[in-house]
Amino acid sequence: MHLAAILVAAGTGSRFGSDTPKQFLTLLGQPVIRHAARALIEAGADIQPVGDAASIAGALDGLPCLAVVPGGATRQDSVLAGLLALEPHAPEFVLVHDAARPLIPTGTVPALLAALEHAPGAIPAAPVADTLKRVAGGFIQETVPRDGLFRAQTPQAFRFDALLAAHRSGVTGATDDASLLEALGQAVAIVPGSESNIKLTYPDDLARLEAAMSATGPMVPRVGTGFDVHVLTDNRPMVLCGVTVPHDKGLAGHSDADVGIHALCDAIYGALAEGDIGRHFPPGGAAWKNQDSAHFLAHAAERIAARGGRLVNADVTLICERPKITPHAPAMRQRLAEILGVDVGAISVKATTTERLGFTGRGEGIAAQAAVMVLVPA
């Protein structure tokens, strides 16, 4: 392993004021942490997530990551946990990145790695432009000279052995990893930071990030529809829209035959003009035998993100006489929203019958249709 990245996601984000930790909030249709992870992957790093395993696994579903390790009581403890998990892989370099920073500007990681040729650590930082005031009790106490002051950002980069040794040195109270090396008298280089490398800290930052990440131009809406059918069969579980539904039969198919997700995938691929589910996952492929269809839907969501787009909403209609869908629809909506990384309010699941007409009316199979709207750059 040449380059690893510790994605720190154990914080609660108390300053943001949300019940949901800020790294798991939705930004342009995806969790904030997912944007951060994708940026690290694009930079060529193997990702070691640190934090709550269940939350991170859901947010990063389908992305190539190492197994999540639990976070510690402090950020310093969490980073050390990530380093210890990476130690058997012996990476040459390691990035430490805040999950609440979803946008890594182009050129930042190459600049950091180049700086590590001459120093054991390097960080992106932006010079302080505003006049600084020291305040107490609501009144200015003094003006602080800003000459030579910089705002530290992440990802911070280190030679792996140097950072692990610094964490094992006994130095405590570090607010970032660079300060550990500083305390030990080791050099930490500065590379140019960027105003677009925004850390999600307060609610207003969401709007700033959306503007920065949509700066490529106006977004245009695109609509897609999907339709799928599977025959009912014995001795298989009934999986619909990611939820196992109690029933005396299941659906026949090479994968788990989740007719709702298959229709939804086709709707997304159609909106992007990227074919259908069979193009991306050819029928009969050994890798897809009994595959959880959540894998297919996560791929469709990734295709939206790869185009710089976002899902506005999705509407799935299941067509069958039995089982009854309404009792399970809330769980189905929640599961689809989790896989797609969007708010549950953007997902609709409903059902209808054909008044006992046709193959669905005779109880021979279940059909599904889906419609989606996505926004993509013009």
Model confidence at 12: pLDDT above 70? no
pLDDT at res. 16: 63
pLDDT in tens, 324-377: 999 999 999 999 998 888 888 889 999 999 999 999 889 899 999 999 999 887
Which 3 state secondary structure label does DSSP give 70? coil
The secondary structure of residue 19, as a DSSP letter, is S
What are the residues whose beta carbons fall under 8 Å from the beta carbon of 210, sequence distance 6 or more? 27, 28
Buried b (16+ CB within 10 A) or exposed e, 10-38: bbebeebeeeebbbbbbbbbbbbbbbbbb
Backbone angles phi, psi at 59, to 5 degrees: -70, -30
d(CA 272, CA 303): 8
d(CA 328, CA 349): 9
Cβ atoms < 10 Å from Cβ of 42: 11
For the entire predicted model, the pTM comes to: 0.60
Q: Alpha carbon of 87 to those of 82, 90, 160, 171, 323: distances in Å?
A: 9, 5, 9, 20, 50
Cβ-contact 336, 347 below 8 angstroms: yes
Q: Is 22 left (phi over 0), alpha (psi -120 to 50) or beta?
A: alpha
* Mean pLDDT for the stretch of residues 212-227: 80
pLDDT at res. 214: 67
Model confidence at 215: pLDDT above 60? no
Domains of the chain: 3-213 (3.90.550.10), 219-377 (3.30.1330.50)
pLDDT at res. 151: 92
* Mean pLDDT for the stretch of residues 313-323: 95
* Mean pLDDT for the stretch of residues 207-216: 74
Higher pLDDT, 118 or 285: 118
d(CA 281, CA 253): 13
pLDDT in tens, 294-317: 989 999 998 888 777 889 999 999
pLDDT in tens, 233-252: 998 999 999 999 999 898 98
Cβ-contact 60, 102 below 8 angstroms: no
Q: Which helix (H) or strand (E) holds 269?
A: helix 259-271
| Residues of the chain above pLDDT 90, percent | 62
Cβ-contact 50, 79 below 8 angstroms: yes
Q: Is 291 left (phi over 0), alpha (psi -120 to 50) or beta?
A: beta
For all residues of the chain together, what is the average pLDDT? 90
